Amino acid sequence: MTAAPNSAPFPPARIRAQADRRRTFAVISHPDAGKSTLTEALALHARVIGQAGAVHGKGNRRATVSDWMQMEKDRGISISSAALQFEYRDTVINLVDTPGHADFSEDTYRVLSAVDAAVMLIDAAKGLEAQTMKLFEVCRHRDIPIITFINKWDRPGQEALALLDEITERTGLRPAPLTWPVGIAGEFHGVLERASGDFIRFTRTDAGAGIAQEERLDADAAAAMIGGDWDTALEEAELLELEGQEHDQDAFLAARSTPVMFGSAVLNFGVHQLLDALVDIAPAAGPRPDQDGNPRPVEEPFSGFVFKVQAGMDANHRDRLAYIRVCSGVFERGMVVTHATTGKPFATKYAQQVFGRDREVVDTAFPGDIVGLVNASALRVGDSLYVDRKVVFPRIPTFSPEHFKVIRAKDSSKYKQFRRGIEQLDHEGVIQVLRSDLRGDQAPVLAAVGPMQFEVAEDRMVNEFNAPCTLEQLNFSLARRTTPEWVSVLSRERGVEVLSRSDGALLALFPDRWRLAGVEREHEGIVLEPLVVSA
């Protein structure tokens, strides 16, 4: 199929209709709560894949198809994010999987800038964990509506009512269950669908590799089959009704209430109901505010922004993808857009949808869609692209680093590969790169939110860029933004170092908060500003 770059414009009504069909969301949670497993369970129910990648049993354990880096497969966690598009009930689902480890919170934050809703995954046994709360705060800051999926109900866990209380107390959201478990955690019969009053009974399949069998029964049939657990579920549902814990669409879209569902992603229980909820109540792609807060209507000419840059996904091609969220208009492969940062034209000859290592060419995309632009070396995270009327979307803040290491090439003859690798990792935002005249380009400082970022950086330097390196820990634990007039003052302070980040920011590094406080006391009026986002 050939593209029709800059072809006749799509009618505004068609663009709005296509935007209304889109549901773009991310799956967020604490590590090991089952994000990648849920991603694949959703794809399985939409008939995108034939068998889930996460299968119980040591002998036939499979890696989830969204995990493509060797480190992800070795450790059973997601490090990079992946995007998957599929159709379900005449709705286009754009599902963005996010990193499964707290050390990669920054990547998750970028993903959340590109979605319209989030599915918050909670482990039935562990409840709301630290990383879940951090990501919830990001969602609250961005007013992102959240659907809560309480996972692993097939295993022993907390009581359902206690989990609702925890959601209320710790998030401030009013939980409004759409389904209610029949049977305690670990003894899962199915769910009560509150809107209809029906019982949806689940039957185990081959260790969750296929779609779970469902049987819909009315209340009388459920009572005859299940007995006491059904009666308990009805009593608890009545209590929810008395407490006013009913779904309110306006409150949900305003991020004041969260619909709640129960299930087991690894066994594909409750996943079909979650898909239906995404179609029925999750927000469609709508106008996106620019950096001045002015919404750009979806029917305006094309615009979008880069929320992720990723390289090294295919060793055979050595390409570099910039993921963009389409905000308005129609993206057509081959069209020429304007790069807002430079004002220069940018040709979109190669465009793909990417999920793990699987790729498909994209010819056309509408507001809400995620497109991967191949070999987009000029693009960086946060860049805006547009056609006709200029638009600049808000920049994506970087996290405040807490870990710092000097990186050096082991082999001086491979300095060119070393430098290229450092520049590439910096461009992608895999890690922050800090430099100074004193250290020079041969020994830049890597700054990370979490220690595992160093492992990813080192692994890619060795295996992707053929540049073996050494990393040396520095005795710093926090960074503050400063201004040029204070650099000489700070450089004379014991245990303090000032370095420049690639975005031009000057960062003063301190060993601890006590040293920071001492410098602030000693120099009245000194500029030492916290970075915008904290991990």
Q: What is the CATH number of the domain that holds 478?
A: 3.30.70.3280
SS3 108: helix
SS3 29: strand
Give the separation between CA 259 and CA 177, rounded to whole angstroms: 5
Looking at the structure of the chain, the number of domains it has is 3
Q: Which of 225, 259, 281 is the last residue of a domain?
A: 281
* 533: in domain: no
Instruction: Please state, as a whole number, how many other Cβ atoms lie within 10 Å of the Cβ of residue 204.
Output: 14
Residue 68 and residue 210 share a domain: yes
Residue 414 and residue 303 share a domain: no
User: Which pLDDT tens digit goes with each residue over 276-318?
Assistant: 999 999 999 999 999 999 999 999 999 999 998 876 555 555 5
Tokens 């866990």 found at? 157
Give the model's pLDDT for residue 170.
95
Q: Token digits for 351?
A: 């465009």
Residue 355 and residue 256 share a domain: no
Give the model's pLDDT for residue 57.
36
Q: Please name every residue paired with 150 in a beta bridge, in sequence order, or none if there are none.
A: 122, 262
Give the model's pLDDT for residue 107.
76
* 396: in domain: no
* 492: in domain: yes
Q: Which of 250, 281, 312 is the last residue of a domain?
A: 281
Q: Token digits for 215?
A: 């049987």
Residue 266 and residue 208 share a domain: yes
Give the model's pLDDT for residue 142.
84
Instruction: Tell me which residue of 44, 411, 1, 377 sits closest to 208, measured CA to CA.
Output: 44
User: Along the 535 residues of the chain, how does pLDDT read in single tens digits?
Assistant: 334 444 457 899 999 999 999 999 998 888 778 887 888 788 777 655 444 443 333 334 344 444 444 544 454 444 344 678 889 999 999 988 776 555 556 777 788 899 999 999 999 999 998 878 878 888 888 899 999 999 999 999 999 999 999 999 999 999 999 999 999 999 889 999 999 999 999 877 665 556 667 899 999 999 999 999 999 999 999 999 999 999 999 999 999 999 999 999 888 889 989 999 999 999 999 999 999 999 999 999 999 999 988 765 555 555 678 899 999 999 999 999 999 999 999 999 888 876 655 678 889 999 999 998 987 888 888 999 999 999 999 988 777 888 999 999 999 999 999 999 998 888 877 889 999 998 988 999 999 888 888 988 998 899 889 999 999 999 999 999 999 999 999 999 999 999 999 888 999 999 999 999 999 999 999 999 988 544 3
CATH number at residue 183: 3.40.50.300
In this structure, the chain runs to a length of: 535
Q: Binding site, residues?
A: 97-101
φ and ψ at residue 463, rounded to 5 degrees? -90, -25
E-only strand ranges, 194-313: 198-203, 213-217, 257-262, 288-289, 295-296, 303-311
Residue 359 and residue 413 share a domain: no
Give CA separation, 484 vs 275, 489, 500, in Å. 52, 10, 10
Residue 351 and residue 258 share a domain: no
* 342: in domain: yes
User: 421: domain range?
Assistant: 403-522
Order of strands across the sheet that contains 213-217: 179-182, 190-193, 198-203, 213-217
Residue 263 and residue 149 share a domain: yes
Residue 186 and residue 262 share a domain: yes
Decide: 499 and 426 in contact? Cβ < 8 Å: no
Residue 346 and residue 477 share a domain: no
Residue 225 and residue 105 share a domain: yes
* 530: in domain: no
Residue 262 and residue 327 share a domain: no
174-177 and 257-262 strand pairing: parallel
345-347 and 336-339 strand pairing: antiparallel
User: Which pLDDT tens digit goes with each residue over 92-118?
Assistant: 999 887 765 555 567 777 888 999 999
Q: Binding site for GTP, residues?
A: 97-101
Q: Helices marked H in 117-217 — which ranges?
A: 130-141, 160-171
* 505: in domain: yes
Give the separation between CA 195 and CA 241, rounded to whole angstroms: 11
SS3 180: strand
Instruction: Please state, as a whole number, how many other Cβ atoms lie within 10 Å of the Cβ of residue 246.
Output: 15
Dmax (CA) of the chain:
80
Q: Which helix (H) or strand (E) holds 82?
A: strand 82-88
Q: Which of 233, 251, 281 is the last residue of a domain?
A: 281
Radius of gyration from C-alpha coordinates of the chain:
25
Residue 372 and residue 415 share a domain: no
